[in-house]
Amino acid sequence: MSNIQPQFFSTNEMAKICGVTKHTLFHYDEIGLLKPEFINDKGYRYYTTKQCYTLDIINVLKKAGSSLEEIKQFFENHNTEKFVNLVQQKQCELEVEQLKIKRMQNFLRSAVEILKNVKNDSRDTPVIERCEAYYFITTAVGDQSNDHEYAKRLSEHRDYCEKNIIMNEFSLWSIINRDNFIASNYFPNFIANKLIVPMDGDKVVVKPKGTYVVMDHKGSCETKSSTYSKIKQFIKEKGLIISGDVYEVEIMNHLAEENPDKYVIRILVGVS
């Protein structure tokens, strides 16, 4: 043993130095990922300083998302070019993960801002407002949809935004075509989320800058028809024309309030 100790690390020493468990080293030995440099006649494993560096690389690649099988294949026939390619690949993957984290941070930040401002920014009666343009990422619902179909489209919409790392705000919007609204067909034509940064694409819809009649509906979706009627009556009394689509945003919903009477949906109707 005296001539081994200066040259090799025992399993216990290797585990402590590299911040892993002995079980991890045993497992790496079993799968052929990192075999000990020397095993004495009593079956004790010993490792070299060089293998400490190898274990460091294994740990880095694991944290970067590589599987043990991928790492094993790399070490079986590695060179400088393959190492650079592997590192660059992991850099790209980490950049994608950073974008996903940034998206979620923006998502949650917008949720907090809306809920904090809801009590100080209510529209209990219809008002005329000048509104800026908004960009939305949307999913079409269809004219003949029902609640079951809407739920499917909502799931597709959320999956698309997540898979494509769309930078959108938390609140869910609905868009009703102008003609449908006039005909009192209030089922949404699009599910939408407001984009944090404008972008182009087939699924992007722009709410034009302009004049809107704005009112908050308080209560469940099933009772919105009374609020629509108030908005239409207001538009008629003011001598306005419904000239654009209708946009609805959930400000307070079941995620924040258990009581449906406390739900708040803001409705914006384009007018001229």
* CB-based contact 206:134 (threshold 8 Å): yes
Q: Give the pLDDT confidence score for residue 2 in this predicted structure.
A: 46
Closest-CA residue to 100 (of 16, 37, 169, 162): 162
Closest-CA residue to 228 (of 271, 171, 188, 268): 268
* CB-based contact 61:54 (threshold 8 Å): no
Q: Which residues contact 46 (CB under 8 A, 6 or more apart)?
A: 4, 8, 9, 10, 11, 36, 37, 38, 39, 40
φ/ψ bin of 20: left (φ > 0), alpha (ψ from -120 to 50), beta (otherwise)? beta
Q: Give the pLDDT confidence score for residue 120 in this predicted structure.
A: 66
Per-residue pLDDT of the chain (272 residues; tens, 9 = 90+): 445 455 789 999 999 988 899 999 999 999 999 999 989 989 899 999 889 989 988 988 888 888 899 888 888 877 788 878 888 888 888 888 888 888 888 877 777 776 666 666 778 899 999 999 999 999 999 766 677 888 889 899 999 999 999 998 888 899 999 999 999 999 899 999 999 989 999 999 999 999 999 998 888 778 888 999 999 999 999 999 999 999 998 887 555 556 666 788 899 999 99
The span from the CA of 246 to the CA of 264, in Å, is 16
The amino acid at 106: N
Residue 167 token pair: 């930078």
| Prediction pTM value | 0.70
Concatenating the DSSP letter of every residue in the chain gives: -TTTTTT-EEHHHHHHHHT--HHHHHHHHHHTSS--SEE-TT--EEE-HHHHHHHHHHHHHHHTT--HHHHHHHHHT--HHHHHHHHHHHHHHHHHHHHHHHHHHHHHHHHHHHHHHGGGS--SS-EEEEE--EEEEEEE--TT--HHHHHHHHHHHHHHHHHTT--EEEEEEEEE-HHHHHTT--S-SEEEEEESS---STTEEEE-SEEEEEEEEES-GGGHHHHHHHHHHHHHHTT--EEEEEEEEEEE-TTT-SSGGG-EEEEEEEE-
Neighbours of 79 (CB within 10 A): 8
Q: What's the longest Cα–Cα distance across the chain?
A: 100
Tens of pLDDT, residue by residue over 65-115, are 888 998 888 888 777 888 788 888 888 888 888 888 888 888 777 777 766
The span from the CA of 257 to the CA of 237, in Å, is 34
